[in-house]
Amino acid sequence: MTQPIIRSENLSKRYRVGGAPRRHADFREAFDNLLRAPLRRLRSMRIEPSCEEETFWAVRNLDFEIAPGEILGIIGRNGAGKSTLLKILSRITAPTEGRIELRGRVASLLEVGTGFHPDLTGRDNIYLNGTFLGMRKKEIDRKFDEILDFAEVERFIDTPVKRYSSGMYVRLAFAVAAHLEPEILLVDEVLAVGDANFQRKCLGKLGDIAETGRTVVFVSHNLAAVQRLCRRAILLRQGRIADQGPVGDVVKEYLRVSAEEVSVSQFRTDARRGTGWARIIDTKLVDDDGNAIGSRACDQALNLVVDVETTEGHGTQTLRGLVLELMFVSDEGHPVTSVMNVDDGAAEFPSTNRCRLRVRIPSPTFMPGRYRLGLFLGIPFLQHVDDIDNALSFEILPPEMPWRPYELHPSRGVVCVKAEWECEPNPSLTRKHEETVGGRQ
Amino acid sequence: MPIANGDDAVTSETSLRAPERGTTKIHLVIEPGSRAIREELGDLLHYRDLLYFLVRREITVRYKQTLLGAAWAVLQPFMTMVVFSVFLGRLAGLPSDNIPYPVFAYLGLLPWTYFSGSVSRASASLVGNASLLGKVYFPRVLIPLSSTLAALVDFCIAATVLVGLMLWYGLWPSASALFYIPLTALTAVLALGVGMWLASINVQFRDVQQATPFLLQIWMFATPIVYPGSLVPERYRFIYDLNPMSGIITAYRAAALGEPIHWQSVGIAALVALAFLLTGWWQFRRMDRHFADIV
Distances in whole angstroms, Cα of residue B172 to Cα of each of A40, A378, A440? 58, 76, 91
pLDDT tens digits, one per residue of A64-82 = 999 988 889 998 877 788 8
With residue A142 as reference, give the H or E element that holds it: helix A137-151
Exposure string of A113-130, with b = 16+ CB inside 10 Å and e = fewer, is: bbbbbeebbbbbbbbbbb
Considering the domain delimited by A6-20+48-260, tell me its CATH architecture.
Answer: 3-Layer(aba) Sandwich (3.40)
ipTM metric: 0.83
> CA B49 to CA B55: how far, in whole Å?
10
Please tell me what DSSP assigns to residue B88: I
Mean pLDDT, rounded, of chain B: 86
In whole angstroms, give the CA distance from residue A194 to residue A200.
10
**B 132-151 → A contacts, CB under 8 A:** 132-138
Confidence of residue A169 (pLDDT cuts 50, 70, 90): confident
A-B CB pairs within 8 A amount to: 157
Q: What pLDDT score was predicted for residue A224?
A: 74
User: Is the per-residue pLDDT at A122 higher than 50?
Assistant: yes
Position B63, amino acid: Y
Structural domains counted in chain B: 2
Distance of CA B186 to the CA centre of its chain: 9
**Are B112 and B142 members of one domain?**
yes
Q: Is residue B42 part of a domain?
A: no
In this prediction, residues A210-230 reach a mean pLDDT of: 82
How close is the nearest chain B Cα to the Cα of A139, in Å? 6
- Same domain? For B68 and B22 the reply is no
Q: Among partner residues A88, A134, A212, which is closest to B30 by beta-carbon distance?
A: A88
DSSP state of A316: T
Of chain A, the end-to-end C-alpha distance in Å amounts to 56
Same domain for B128 and B5: no
* Mean pLDDT, rounded, for B44-70: 88
pLDDT at B180 over 50: yes
Has residue B39 been placed in a domain?
no
Architecture of the domain whose range is A272-403+407-412: Distorted Sandwich (2.70)
pLDDT at B147 over 60: yes
Task: Examine residue B78 and state whether it is found in any structural domain, yes or no.
Answer: yes
Q: Which of B6, B57, B135 sits opposite A114 (nearest CB)?
A: B135
Residues B135 and B278 in one domain: yes
Tell me which range, A15-19, A152-156, B104-108, B241-245, is most confidently predicted by mean pLDDT. B104-108
Q: Within 13 Å of residue A303, how many CA atoms lie on the same side as its CB?
A: 11
Q: Would you give the distance in Å from CA B30 to the centre of its chain?
A: 31
Residue B249 lies in a domain: yes
Q: Label residue B267 by pLDDT band (50, 70, 90).
A: very high
Residue type, B22: G
A219-229: burial string, b at 16+ Cβ within 10 Å, e else: bbbbbbbbbeb
* Mean pLDDT for the stretch of residues A359-382: 89
Note whether B23 and B95 are same-domain residues. Answer: no
CB contact under 8 A, B30 and A94: yes
pLDDT (average), residues A85-91 = 91
Residue-level pLDDT at B3: 38
Confidence band for A305, pLDDT divided at 50, 70 and 90: very high
- What gap in Å lies between CA A214 and CA A422, rounded to an integer? 47
Nearest CA in chain B to A210: B18
Q: Are residues B253 and B175 in the same domain?
A: yes
Does residue A400 or residue B242 have the better pLDDT?
B242
| Closest CA of chain A from B130, distance in Å | 11
Residue B264 clears pLDDT 50, i.e. is over it: yes
Distance of CA A67 to the CA centre of its chain: 28
Q: Where are the domains of chain A?
A: 6-20+48-260, 272-403+407-412
Lowest mean pLDDT among A265-274, A404-413, B5-14, B15-24: B5-14
Neighbours of A28 (CB within 10 A): 9
User: How many helices and strands, by DSSP H and E, does chain B display?
Assistant: 13, 1
- Dump pLDDT digits (tens) for A307-363: 998 887 766 788 888 999 999 988 777 889 999 999 988 888 988 888 999 999 998
d(CA B201, CA B196): 8
Can you give the pLDDT at residue A382? 85
Domain residues for the domain of B11 are 1-28
Residues of A within 8 A of B7 (CB-CB) are 105
pLDDT tens per residue, range A407-416 = 777 778 889 8
Q: What percent of chain A has pLDDT over 70?
A: 84
Mean pLDDT over A261-275 rounds to 73
Q: Three-state DSSP class for A97?
A: strand
Predicted confidence at residue B269, as pLDDT, reads 93
pLDDT of residue A20: 44
Is the Cα torsion angle B203, B205, B208, B210 positive or negative in sign? positive
Which residues in chain B are closer than 8 Å to A214, comparing Cβ atoms?
18-19
List of chain A residues whose C-beta atoms are within 8 Å of the C-beta of residue B46: 134, 136
Residue A208 pLDDT > 50: yes
Q: What are phi and psi of A395, to 5 degrees?
A: -115, 135
A184-188 and A215-219: which strand pairing? parallel
C-alpha to C-alpha distance for B223 and B48, rounded to whole angstroms? 34
Q: Residue B194: pLDDT above 80?
A: yes
Q: Do B114 and B22 reside in the same domain of the chain? A: no
The predicted-structure confidence for B197-238, as pLDDT tens digits, reads as follows: 999 999 888 889 899 999 999 999 999 999 988 888 888 887
Contacts of residue A212 in chain B, CB cutoff 8 Å? 17-18
Of the listed ranges A217-221, A402-406, B49-53, the least confidently predicted one is A402-406
Q: A234 forms bridges with which residues in the sheet?
A: A74, A244
Mean pLDDT of B252-279: 92
More confident of the two residues A277 and B19? A277
Residue B17 has pLDDT above 90, yes or no: no
Q: How far is B119 from chain A (nearest CA, A)?
A: 22
The Cα–Cα gap between A428 and B265 comes to 103
Domain co-membership, B15 together with B52: no
Return d(Cα A80, Cα A50) in angstroms, integer. Answer: 24
| Nearest residue to A307 (alpha-carbon basis) of A284, A291, A289 | A284
* Chain B closest-CA separation from residue A93 CA (Å): 5
Mean pLDDT of chain A: 82
Preceding omega of A364 cis (within 30 degrees of 0) = yes
CA-angle at B241, arms to B236 and B244, nearest 5°: 155
Q: Please tell me the distance from the alpha carbon of residue A37 to that of residue A33, in angstroms, as a whole number.
A: 6
The better pLDDT of the pair B157, A50 is held by B157
According to DSSP H, which parts of A212-343 are helical? 223-229, 247-260
